[in-house]
Structure 1
């Protein structure tokens, strides 16, 4: 029998004793060595569910790294004891969208929750398409960041920013990132590493300090900096940003993000808002400024692989994002600490 966290509803997660998972054909079971929390887990816990990924009651958590302890019939290329990281989903590979390599739009995406547990069963589709070996010199804690960083790399690719613009434009692209959670800070680090000039808005001076470590050109606490769009225009010769990335999932902030863009800007509305929320858009600004509003969701197998490679090369000190470690029994207090913004990501060690 194993211990596992089960989500029952709004701010209702319970540690339960469940039967150990048994792999069916094509599946594997891993012993979870590290499971990291994230902003999506916090939103799901606070809202009591997720529009696409889970409906309570359900096993909880979606970022993990571990070792294989059981192989289902027909699994090839893997052995018991292998160190692995599994993405929390996999596309079907054959639908209309997969045939066009739009894998994050696959209507048959198979999601896998339950990383806040001693053991985790990995579905056959993920074993086939999104299970990767962890390099021997990479810790389980850092490897567990593969999924969120893959989402960030996907988001950057969809944002209209290309690294060659740094060399072909008369000045570096100016990109605004709104949000200082783990996702926002990952955006900052990767974009700055690729040569963009990044302006960051967040609500925590401690988190904004990490943004500075990651290469942000300027950081501002939104509690004290005044009107965001006006400040962005001041910093960009009156134009606005080339790209704006919203990473909070708050509808009013989506509207502020749109206001921060220059004519011709791409606005990446990355943070997932609550179900059935709406925003208002100035149609004149959208039309005459030729804005591109982009909703970007999840990741693809390509970016899962690029993410693990990026982490393995130690390009960014991603350990700054793991601000605590805890046992599985501490899941309730960990989520409360995240709610109070006292932690960015916590590595649970079942």
Structure 2
């Protein structure tokens, strides 16, 4: 079968590899679509990989397809079922897993890094990671729900965003636009977006934002606008970009006792005032990954039209076009689409 393979020695290429066979408790999926994620690009740029990544690796962890075959003992699914794949593989034995925080498992594997992923015609995954998707939900749109949407969803649920009057999202890439939709779907009355891109305002507003600001010109005016909108300060800031100016701006518009939650993974961010953080009694926390139930909730939201992943899908490319798309990202989220037979 054809697959997108990466190795630090030989680089990124589409190659012929053996078609996987489902082992005990696994299912074989014929891939219909697979999202290209920022973490894929980080891996290719040499900026780090999840613990346990082995090379050469078939990339791709935002997977949608149909069940092709069942391994011994696999249950709950049938051949032909449309599914998406939750990409995280917690160990089930550590303290984090025992606390019900399996998304924070320090020993977890990740499909597309520690085992072959979905940028291929077929992928074998544990049956428990395959989640049935609604028949009418487009495969490319469903694929990005498992990470581009599930990551900000987990962050906002953990931060209690649904209880806040106002939320600020930093960034207008795939994660940021998804976060805006999720915040509105959770019932947040006022959602603002901060971007370094002045041309991103239209997409932010289409995604449901009530206010859009940039740091161009006088940032103090933008901060005043958001404090006015939020009646004193936003309760939760979700950072999807990881740039220091954004975090500093967040502390200016955060209400006392508010939270800044980041899902971004830059190498380093400096210049944040710890004194301001302390005086506001604010929390600066990280959020990573998601849980299976997060993906299930998002599939239901998408089926009901409460989130619109079609806005976030940037380009639909073939597998042969994937290396160029991965190294030359589009505005939004690129998705590799496989032709159905």
TM bin, normalised by shorter chain, reads 0.7 to 0.9
Query: How many correspondences in the alignment?
Result: 330
Per the TM alignment, residue 260 of structure 1 is displaced from its structure 2 partner at its CA by 3.8
Match of 1:161 in 2: 161
2:199 and 2:53 mapped to 1: Cα distance? 32
Moved more, 34-43 or 48-57: 48-57
Q: Identify if the C-alpha distance between structure 1 residues 98 and 318 changes in structure 2 by more than 3 Å, giving closer, same or farther.
A: same
Match of 2:109 in 1: 110
2:158 and 2:135 mapped to 1: Cα distance? 32
Q: Identify if the C-alpha distance between structure 1 residues 336 and 93 changes in structure 2 by more than 3 Å, giving closer, same or farther.
A: closer
Moved more, 178-187 or 100-109: 100-109
Q: Identify if the C-alpha distance between structure 1 residues 198 and 31 changes in structure 2 by more than 3 Å, giving closer, same or farther.
A: same
2:307 and 2:76 mapped to 1: Cα distance? 31
Q: Identify if the C-alpha distance between structure 1 residues 318 and 146 changes in structure 2 by more than 3 Å, giving closer, same or farther.
A: closer
Per the TM alignment, residue 11 of structure 1 is displaced from its structure 2 partner at its CA by 11
Deviations 1:269-308 (A, max 9, x none): 221122xx35344332222210111111110122121111
Deviations 1:41-60 (A, max 9, x none): 33333345424474543221
1:280 and 1:150 mapped to 2: Cα distance? 29
Per the TM alignment, residue 136 of structure 1 is displaced from its structure 2 partner at its CA by 1.5
Q: Identify if the C-alpha distance between structure 1 residues 53 and 249 changes in structure 2 by more than 3 Å, giving closer, same or farther.
A: farther
Task: Work out which of the residue numbers 322, 331, 336 in structure 2 matches 1:343.
Answer: 331
Task: Work out which of the residue numbers 183, 197, 209 in structure 2 matches 1:191.
Answer: 183
Per the TM alignment, residue 225 of structure 1 is displaced from its structure 2 partner at its CA by 4.4
Conservation of the 8 A alpha-carbon contact between 2:213 and 2:222: no
2:294 is the counterpart of 1:306: no
Q: Identify if the C-alpha distance between structure 1 residues 97 and 177 changes in structure 2 by more than 3 Å, giving closer, same or farther.
A: same
2:78 and 2:317 mapped to 1: Cα distance? 29
Q: Identify if the C-alpha distance between structure 1 residues 266 and 137 changes in structure 2 by more than 3 Å, giving closer, same or farther.
A: same
2:91 and 2:206 mapped to 1: Cα distance? 39
1:146 and 1:7 mapped to 2: Cα distance? 24
Residues 310-321 of structure 1 mapped to structure 2, 5 A cutoff: 310-321=301-312
Task: Work out which of the residue numbers 161, 164, 170 in structure 2 matches 1:178.
Answer: 170
Q: Identify if the C-alpha distance between structure 1 residues 76 and 51 changes in structure 2 by more than 3 Å, giving closer, same or farther.
A: closer
Deviations 1:22-51 (A, max 9, x none): 121111111111112233333333345424
Q: Identify if the C-alpha distance between structure 1 residues 55 and 48 changes in structure 2 by more than 3 Å, giving closer, same or farther.
A: farther
2:217 and 2:175 mapped to 1: Cα distance? 22
Per the TM alignment, residue 203 of structure 1 is displaced from its structure 2 partner at its CA by 3.6
Tell me the SS of whatever aligns to 1:162: helix
Tell me the SS of whatever aligns to 1:21: coil
Q: For structure 1, list consecutive stretches of 5 or more residues without a partner in the other structure.
A: 166-172
Task: Work out which of the residue numbers 246, 254, 265 in structure 2 matches 1:261.
Answer: 254
Q: Identify if the C-alpha distance between structure 1 residues 287 and 115 changes in structure 2 by more than 3 Å, giving closer, same or farther.
A: same
Q: Identify if the C-alpha distance between structure 1 residues 190 and 62 changes in structure 2 by more than 3 Å, giving closer, same or farther.
A: same
Q: State the TM-score, normalized to the length of structure 1.
A: 0.86
Cα RMSD after superposing both structures: 2.4
Match of 1:231 in 2: 222
Tell me the SS of whatever aligns to 2:161: coil
